[in-house]
């Protein structure tokens, strides 16, 4: 469940089968007798034709026979249709009715934008803008998560090099953990200038660890450093030598990455 703000209206978005469904109920909640607008919209013949075309394109189980009967009735004075009836009679999937805390009528984004246009063309444009902004933010977060996962994968490569080259065979499990933590902190000091404990002591109000709060550029650099540290360990370099080398690499790579970021920012302005 995510939310966007359009004007003064908070609108919920849920994921159904990995597709975004936007709350029609939320769209009209600040309008007088707003809920009745959804049923009025459903009574419109153009709406029925649009919904039918959408379902035939994306829903292999759509009941076209029942839809034909509904389309013939649409637009007449006697025609009435609820969301529940539409779903049950045609097996439609483009509109859903949810119950519970976040209950209401939700529609696939294609249909939700069509409804928004019927309510107000201006409202539709603001809705699309906020929805696109949400998707952009999600892509940024996805990129950050991918870099975090890459750092975790490289961490396994790094700890493998530690276990084969730094840990004597008769160490206890607790001693091995200490060496791993010590090596992880070597990277932390080279990249962030502090150990994990020092960071936690400085940020008692934050959850997670120092790497969970790193920037994407820092994670890219850290990922590279983990690979390089594994190489340095295999080459027999001492910890102090590796720390100095890794710190120099971190400074150099971060300057390059931040430079690229700054140029991209200026280009996007």
109 or 188: which leads in pLDDT: 109
Nearest to 196, CA basis, from 180, 184, 205:
184
Digit-coded pLDDT (tens) for 54-107: 999 999 999 999 999 999 988 888 888 889 999 999 999 999 998 877 789 999
pLDDT of 108 = 95
Give the chain's mean pLDDT: 82
Cα Rg, the chain, nearest whole Å: 28
In contact, 239 and 186? CB cutoff 8 Å: yes
* Residue 122 phi, psi (nearest 5): -65, -45
At residue 116 the predicted structure's pLDDT band, cuts being 50, 70 and 90, is very high
pLDDT > 50? residue 265: no
Least Cα distance to 187 among 145, 151, 153, 213 occurs for 151
Q: Are 209 and 181 in contact (CB under 8 A)?
A: no
Give the separation between CA 215 and CA 175, rounded to whole angstroms.
31
Give me the pLDDT at residue 138, please: 74
Q: What is the pTM of this model?
A: 0.53
114, pLDDT greater than 90: yes
pLDDT in tens, 173-192: 665 555 556 777 888 888 88
Which H or E run contains 95? strand 95-98
Does the pLDDT at position 168 exceed 60? no
Average pLDDT over every residue of 24-47: 90
As a whole number, mean pLDDT of residues 235-243 equals 86
Token pair in block for residue 92? 């439609």
What residues contact residue 263 under an 8 Å CB cut-off, 6+ apart? none
Residues in the chain: 269
Q: What is the pLDDT averaged over residues 202-231?
A: 85
Q: What percent of the chain has pLDDT over 90?
A: 30
For residue 225, name the pLDDT band (cuts at 50, 70, 90). confident
Question: Which pLDDT belongs to residue 105?
Answer: 94
Q: Please write down the long-range contacts of 58-63, taking CB distance under 8 Å and 24 or more positions apart.
A: 58/93, 58/94, 58/108, 59/91, 59/92, 59/93, 59/94, 61/91, 61/93, 62/90, 62/91, 62/92, 62/93, 63/89, 63/90, 63/91
Q: What is the DSSP string of 58-71?
A: H-TT--HHHHHHHH
Cβ neighbors of 245 (< 8 A, separation 6 or more) are: 228, 232, 237
């Amino acid at each position: 469940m995510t939310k966007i703000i359009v004007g003064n209206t908070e609108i919920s978005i849920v994921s159904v089968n990995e597709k975004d469904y936007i709350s029609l109920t939320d769209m009209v909640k600040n309008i007088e007798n707003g809920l009745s607008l959804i049923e009025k919209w459903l009574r419109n013949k153009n709406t029925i034709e649009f919904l039918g075309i959408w379902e035939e394109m994306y829903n292999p189980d759509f009941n076209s026979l029942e839809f034909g009967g509904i389309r013939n009735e649409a637009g007449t004075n006697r025609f009435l249709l609820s969301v529940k009836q539409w779903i049950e009679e045609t097996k439609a999937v483009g509109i859903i009715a949810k119950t519970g805390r976040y209950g209401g009528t939700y529609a696939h984004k294609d249909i939700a934008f069509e409804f928004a246009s019927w309510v107000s063309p201006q409202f539709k444009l603001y809705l699309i803008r906020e929805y696109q902004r949400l998707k952009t933010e999600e892509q940024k977060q996805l990129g950050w998560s991918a870099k975090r996962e890459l750092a975790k994968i490289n961490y396994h490569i790094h700890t493998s090099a530690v276990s084969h080259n730094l840990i004597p065979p008769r160490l206890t499990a607790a001693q091995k953990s200490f060496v791993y933590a010590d090596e992880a902190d070597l990277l932390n000091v080279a990249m962030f200038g502090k150990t994990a404990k020092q960071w936690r002591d400085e940020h008692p109000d934050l959850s997670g660890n120092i790497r969970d709060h790193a920037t994407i550029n820092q994670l890219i650099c850290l990922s590279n450093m983990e690979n390089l540290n594994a190489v340095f360990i295999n080459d027999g370099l001492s910890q102090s030598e590796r720390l100095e080398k890794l710190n120099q690499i971190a400074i150099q790579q971060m300057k390059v990455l931040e430079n690229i970021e700054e140029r991209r920012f200026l280009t996007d302005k």
